[in-house]
Amino acid sequence: MPAPALRRLALTLAATGGLALPLAAQEAGGIAVEQPWARAAVQGGVGGAFMRIENRGAAADRLVSASSPVARTVELHATVRDGDVMRMRPVQAIDLPAHGAVQLQPGGLHMMLIGLNRPLSQGERVPVTLTFEHAGSVAVELAVQGAGAGGMAGHSAMPR
Amino acid sequence: MHRNLSAPGLALALFLAPAAYAQPTDRPPAAVPGETALPQGVALGGAFSLTDQAGRAATDRDLRGRWALLYFGYTFCPDVCPTELQTMAAALDALGPELGERVRPVFVSIDPERDTPERLADYVALFHPRLIGLTGSAAHVAQAARAYRVYYARARPGDGDGYLMDHSSFIYLLDPDGAVRGLFRPGTTAEDLAAALRRRLP
Ligand SMILES: [Cu+2]
């Protein structure tokens, strides 16, 4: 896989007084990331990150990994409900069909930020770099919500 | 649920599996969506001896005198546990200060190896100012989980502290005498939980 230069996205953030207002879609290489957000979390612990990823290109792509300066490692996970037992499992990649989209949300696919070197506090933004098989690296900023938030504030709640 | 029967290392005969025995007739008429029937002929709840987030000894007796909402999980869970704790917190807030104060929210760790009292103190504060965090020795946590028929198992061999836990995910409603009076399945909404509390609390 070629390693395209990191496409730093133009995050034209108006001065919002620290409020985690929704970002417009963050797009690069045909990949658009909408409403990336994370749950508040404690230092040394783990954080959940969620977003909608759209592949606007004519070829299928895959999210193969993610990383963040605030976490020792970032894993792609799926939560699976087995009766009333909840299981979390790492997944190798998240498939993005051509002209398709995937929703990362509580209770389903998510990113797990492991080994946080600082707390994630509600209202702040946290950088994460997503790596796609074809689109390469896409930098996004997670808007940190409450520790038990079901979705991004000001948007219709994610289905649970 | 059948798959659970082959999971290793657990007294699975004790594992709470309401779907396996809950008959429609078991269901109290006042049940809200998400609420499941209490198991018939199975003891649920009882004595435990744990440590709270301030490092103080905490037993089932310390919960007496008020209603309680009990949830078993682990702080290294970024998805399911925060959702359920938020449901508990939002339900109490929805009840308003007077009624809400009559219910203690409690989080019991099933991952005592990583969930120290200090860690629980940081964690519970994220959800509700009155949320109590309980942990303890592996044996004491196992005893508490057994009493409430909680299934838990390490799902991935630990690469350091990176392991995941599988666990059953019920919210238990305890009355002021410590008896389990309600059982809510994962995904129960805060609105439905609050409605159930309004019906139960005299
Ligand atoms: Cu996870």
**How many CA atoms lie less than 13 Å away from A38 in the CB half-sphere?**
31
Partners of residue B50 on adjacent β-strands? B58
Contacting A with CB below 8 Å, chain B residues are 1, 3-4, 16-19, 75-80, 82-83, 85-87, 89-90, 119, 122-123, 126-127, 151, 155-156, 161-162, 164, 166-170, 185-187, 189
**Tokens, residue B182:** 């309600």
| Whole-angstrom distance, CA of residue B35 vs CA of residue B186 | 9
Domains of chain A: 3-159 (2.60.40.1890)
Q: Which of B16, B119, B164 sits opposite A88 (nearest CB)?
A: B164
Q: How does DSSP assign chain A, residue by residue?
A: ---PPPB---------TT--PPPPPEEETTEEEEEEEEE-B-TTSEEEEEEEEEE-SSS-EEEEEEE-TTEEEEEEEEEEEETTEEEEEE-S-EEE-TT-EEEE-TTSEEEEEEEESS-B-TT-EEEEEEEETTTEEEEEEEEEE-TT-SS-TTSPPPP-
| Whole-angstrom distance, CA of residue A26 vs CA of residue B77 | 28
> Which tops the pLDDT comparison, B32 or A153?
B32
| pLDDT of the residue at B159 | 54
| pLDDT of the residue at B160 | 57
Chain mean pLDDT for chain A: 84
CATH assignment of B4-19+46-154+164-200, among 1.10.287.3510, 3.40.710.10, 3.40.30.10, 3.40.50.620: 3.40.30.10
Which protein residues have their CB within 5 A of the ion that is ligand 1?
A: A 77, 88, 112
Q: What is the pTM of this model?
A: 0.84
Q: State whether B82 and A84 contact (CB < 8 Å).
A: no
| Whole-angstrom distance, CA of residue B122 vs CA of residue B137 | 19
A16 burial type by CB count under 10 A (0-12 exposed, 13-18 middle, 19+ buried): exposed
CA–centroid distance, residue A78 to ligand 1 (Å): 7
Q: Which residue has the tokens 């301030």?
A: B54
CA–centroid distance, residue A19 to ligand 1 (Å): 26
CA–centroid distance, residue A48 to ligand 1 (Å): 7
Chain A residues with CB under 8 Å of B161 CB are: 115
pLDDT digits 0-9 by tens, B175-187 = 999 999 999 999 9
202 residues of chain B, pLDDT tens digit each: 333 333 333 333 345 554 444 444 444 545 889 998 888 888 899 999 999 999 999 999 999 999 999 999 999 998 999 999 999 999 999 999 999 999 999 999 999 999 999 999 999 999 999 999 999 999 999 999 999 999 999 987 655 567 899 999 999 999 999 999 999 999 999 999 999 999 999 8
Chain B residues with CB under 8 Å of A83 CB are: 1, 4, 17, 19
Chain B residues with CB under 8 Å of A40 CB are: 126
Chain A residues with CB under 8 Å of B90 CB are: 148
Q: How far is A22 from chain B (nearest CA, A)?
A: 21
CA–centroid distance, residue A88 to ligand 1 (Å): 5
| Whole-angstrom distance, CA of residue B85 vs CA of residue B105 | 9
Does residue A21 register a pLDDT over 90? no
Q: How far is B170 from chain A (nearest CA, A)?
A: 7
Q: Which residue has the tokens 């939560």?
A: A79
Comparing A27-41, A122-136, B128-142, the range with the smallest average pLDDT is A27-41
| Whole-angstrom distance, CA of residue A96 vs CA of residue B96 | 44
| pLDDT of the residue at A24 | 52
CA–centroid distance, residue A148 to ligand 1 (Å): 14
Domain ranges of chain B: 4-19+46-154+164-200
> Which tops the pLDDT comparison, B42 or A73?
A73
Question: What does the DSSP 8-state code read for residue B75?
Answer: T
In this prediction, residues A138-147 reach a mean pLDDT of 96
CA–centroid distance, residue B164 to ligand 1 (Å): 8
| pLDDT of the residue at A154 | 63
In this prediction, residues A62-71 reach a mean pLDDT of 97
Which residue in A has a C-alpha nearest to residue B89's C-alpha?
Answer: A148
| Whole-angstrom distance, CA of residue B145 vs CA of residue B131 | 19
| pLDDT of the residue at A155 | 55
